[in-house]
Amino acid sequence: MNREEHPGHTDGGAERLVGATADGEDTAVEAALRPKDLAEFVGQSKVREQLDLVLRAARARGGTADHVLLSGAPGLGKTTLSMIIAAEMGAPIRITSGPAIQHAGDLAAILSSLTEGEVLFLDEIHRMSRPAEEMLYMAMEDFRVDVIVGKGPGATAIPLELPPFTLVGATTRAGLLPPPLRDRFGFTAHMEFYEPAELEQVIHRSARLLDVEIDAEGAAEIAGRSRGTPRIANRLLRRVRDYAQVRADGLITREIAGQALAVYEVDDRGLDRLDRGVLDALLRLFGGGPVGLSTLAVAVGEERETVEEVAEPFLVREGLLARTPRGRIATPAAWEHMGLTPPRQPPASAPGGPGQPGLFGS
């Protein structure tokens, strides 16, 4: 993939069927699949409850909701939630993003044109420029900006009052936000990966909207391969739908879903060809490691960055691979998932037992 196009995202790329960032088709269909209010929003029960309180209280006061920060991995529903916040508040929404704001002046223009109660959605807020960030501090806190007129010693700051608004910031990298910015949000929602049962609900809902027939087991099969991410669930659903249409009678069952995703090389845990390639090399060529990242990358025939940033995060999250100071190692679960037997069974350990101390030996 061309990494330059997605500098803010490290999860892999849009052309991957199991990549969490949006590709063109996602963007086109997602608008239709977005839940429109909190009640329709599946999962994230903690975030939903907290946000519900924030919004209800603001409505009861007849005021504007506090600024909200949404943090979480790509495809978990940050943009969706921002639109829901506006809808729940009965307010218009203005959408922009950190990278789109190059100069403080760009931000001043947006802020000064907001109407009272409007929601300003600032996606990828961690990628905003420093001067814009500083202007934002004052705008968030005092609903005021200083517009600088002129240059050099003759420049003057003209204070400009803003109507109260709600800033909704979204970031995949909350850790990159400077503390002064983070502190100015009244509420931070940490979005978690979804449980399979929640993804099943997402899939059933999307199937209804797309007019696709699917049974409970078919939805469960897709959910289990969706890496905890609604965007991936929706994308896999569309690919399975294609298969069901062309090779079967349209109904998505467990069998059809399994066959379809085998064609697309997404395994029953949501690993794709790249993920499996990395594991396969680690297990077969290096006996489960430890092996250095560069060596592993050469063995897989990929760039070091691709292995590290595209494949590894999910493998680590799944407990299949661990990064250690001495290199990458496979966990016992990796051997099992790939259907391989680890070499050098330590005689003391129970046959087939989970512990493989030899793999982690110092």
Ligand X SMILES: Nc1ncnc2c1ncn2[C@@H]1O[C@H](COP(=O)(O)OP(=O)(O)OP(=O)(O)O)[C@@H](O)[C@H]1O
Of 111, 99, 184, nearest to 147 by C-alpha is 111
Residue 359, SS3 per DSSP: helix
CB of 227 to ligand X, least distance (A): 12
Catalytic pick from 26, 123, 272, 275? Answer: 123
The interface partner of residue 117, options being ligand X, Mg ion, none and the CB cut-off 5 to 8 Å by kind, is: none
Residue 34 assigned ligand-binding role: yes
Distance, in Å, from the CA atom of 319 to the CA atom of 219, rounded to the nearest integer, reads 24
| Residue among 21, 44, 79, 166 that touches Mg ion (CB under 5 A) | 79
The interface partner of residue 221, options being Mg ion, ligand X, none and the CB cut-off 5 to 8 Å by kind, is: none
Name the closest residue to ligand X (Cβ).
77
Is there a catalytic annotation at residue 79? Answer: yes
The smaller minimum CB distance to Mg ion, of residues 34 and 269, is found at 34
Distance, in Å, from the CA atom of 190 to the CA atom of 179, rounded to the nearest integer, reads 16
The smaller minimum CB distance to Mg ion, of residues 231 and 241, is found at 231
Q: Which residues bind ligand X (CB under 6 A)?
A: 21-22, 30, 33-35, 41-44, 74-80, 172, 202, 230-231, 234
Is there a catalytic annotation at residue 123? Answer: yes
Residue 75 assigned ligand-binding role: yes
Is there a catalytic annotation at residue 273? Answer: no
Residue 323 assigned ligand-binding role: yes
Side chain identity, residue 200: E
Is there a catalytic annotation at residue 21? Answer: no
Catalytic pick from 21, 64, 172, 331? Answer: 172
The interface partner of residue 227, options being ligand X, Mg ion, none and the CB cut-off 5 to 8 Å by kind, is: none
Label the pairing between strands 93-97 and 156-161.
unpaired
Is there a catalytic annotation at residue 151? Answer: no
The interface partner of residue 80, options being Mg ion, ligand X, none and the CB cut-off 5 to 8 Å by kind, is: ligand X
Distance, in Å, from the CA atom of 290 to the CA atom of 315, rounded to the nearest integer, reads 15
Distance, in Å, from the CA atom of 146 to the CA atom of 108, rounded to the nearest integer, reads 8
Distance, in Å, from the CA atom of 287 to the CA atom of 342, rounded to the nearest integer, reads 7
Residue 194 assigned ligand-binding role: yes
Catalytic pick from 16, 21, 64, 78? Answer: 78
Decide if residue 171 touches Mg ion (CB under 5 A): no
Residue 107 assigned ligand-binding role: no
Q: Residues with Cβ < 8 Å from 138, sequence gap 6 or more?
A: 144, 145, 146
Q: What is the DSSP string of 118-180?
A: -EEEEETGGGS-HHHHHHHHHHHHHSEEEEEESSGGG-EEEEEE----EEEEEES-GGGS-HH
Binding-site entries for Mg(2+): 79
Q: Tell me which residues touch Mg ion (CB under 5 A).
A: 78-79
